C-alpha cells in the first residue's frame, strides 16, 4: 500500500513533515483507512483472539499499525509502532478513539481537537521512539513459548525481543528469519491461516 507510488513513506511518517504540513499525512490516511475498512482480520488474527480468551495466550506484540488484532477481539496487544486505534491532540493530549476519528479523517482536511490543535494518530513516526518496549520485553521474559509469526525479524528493536524470551521459541513464517537457529524449537514455513487452522483443530478451539 505504501508502495503505490502516490505517497512517499519517508514523508508520510516523518514527524517534522507532520508538524509542518499534517495535510500530507491525512491525505494518505484517508486512502489507507478507505482500504482498511475493506480489510478484515484473517483466521490467524481470530485464532489468537480465541487463544487469549481460552487463557493460553498472555499477549501479542506487533509492529503492524492496522489494529486488525483489536478488530478480531484481542485485548492485550502491544503495538511497538502504535496504530490508528487511538489518536491524541498534540496540545492537550485529549484521546480520540478510531471510531471518533473516522468521520473526522474522511470528512475534514486535517482533524483538529476541540482546543483547535491538530490531532495525531498514536503511530510511531520516523524521529519518534517505539512505544511500550518495556512491556514487550516483560512479555517475552515471562513467556514459556514465544511464537514469531509472519516476520523476518529485520527491524530493531523488535528483532531483539527473542533474545529476552525465557522459554521455547517457535517460528511460523514463509521465508528466512533473522534469528540464531539453535534457539528455535519449531520452524514452520507454511501459510499462516492453514497452519493455525490445524492448531485450532488440535486445541478444539472454535474461531
CA distance 71 to 49: 10
Which stretch in 2-10, 12-20, 87-95, 189-197 sits in contact with Zn ion by CB under 5 A? Answer: 87-95
Which stretch in 102-110, 117-125, 145-153, 180-188 sits in contact with Zn ion by CB under 5 A? Answer: 117-125
Q: Which of 36, 52, 68, 81 is catalytic?
A: 81
Let me know if 81 is a catalytic residue.
yes
Is residue 87 a contact partner of residue 120, using CB atoms and an 8 Å limit? yes
Using rule CB under 5 A, residue 100 touches Zn ion: no
Residue listed under C-alpha cell 491524541: 88
Q: Label the pairing between strands 184-188 and 168-172.
A: parallel
For the bound state, the minimum distance from the C-beta of residue 67 to Zn ion, rounded and expressed in Å, comes to: 22
CA distance 16 to 45: 34
Using rule CB under 5 A, residue 113 touches Zn ion: yes
What sign does the dihedral 192-194-198-203 (CA atoms) show?
A: positive
Distances (CA, A) of 22 to 14, 29, 93, 105: 10, 10, 17, 12
Using rule CB under 5 A, residue 92 touches Zn ion: yes
Using rule CB under 5 A, residue 160 touches Zn ion: no
Q: Which is nearer to Zn ion, 48 or 96 (CB)?
A: 96
Among 1, 39, 75, 115, binds Zn ion (CB under 5 A): 115
Size of the residue set binding Zn ion (CB under 5 A):
7
By the criterion CB under 5 A, which residues form the site for Zn ion? 89, 91-92, 94, 113, 115, 117
Catalytic positions, written as ranges: 81
Amino acid at each position: 500500500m505504501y508502495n503505490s507510488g502516490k505517497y512517499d513513506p519517508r514523508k508520510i511518517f516523518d514527524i517534522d513533515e507532520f508538524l509542518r504540513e499534517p495535510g500530507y499525512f491525512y491525505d494518505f490516511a484517508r486512502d489507507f483507512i478507505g482500504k482498511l475498512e475493506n480489510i478484515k482480520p484473517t483466521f490467524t488474527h481470530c485464532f489468537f483472539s480465541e487463544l487469549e480468551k481460552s487463557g493460553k495466550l498472555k499477549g501479542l506484540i506487533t509492529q503492524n499499525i492496522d489494529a486488525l488484532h483489536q478488530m478480531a477481539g484481542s485485548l492485550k496487544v502491544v503495538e511497538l509502532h502504535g496504530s490508528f486505534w487511538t489518536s491524541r491532540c498534540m496540545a492537550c493530549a485529549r484521546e480520540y478513539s478510531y471510531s471518533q476519528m473516522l468521520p473526522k479523517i474522511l470528512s475534514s482536511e486535517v482533524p483538529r481537537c476541540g482546543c483547535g490543535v491538530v490531532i495525531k494518530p498514536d503511530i510511531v513516526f520516523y524521529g519518534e521512539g517505539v512505544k511500550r518496549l518495556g512491556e514487550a520485553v516483560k512479555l517475552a521474559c515471562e513467556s514459556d513459548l514465544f511464537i514469531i509469526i509472519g516476520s523476518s525479524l529485520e527491524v530493531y528493536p523488535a528483532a531483539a525481543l527473542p533474545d529476552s524470551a525465557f522459554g521455547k521459541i517457535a517460528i511460523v513464517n514463509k521465508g528466512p528469519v533473522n534469528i540464531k537457529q539453535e534457539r528455535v524449537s519449531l520452524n514452520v514455513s507454511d501459510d499462516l491461516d492453514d497452519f493455525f487452522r490445524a492448531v485450532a483443530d488440535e486445541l478444539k478451539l472454535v474461531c
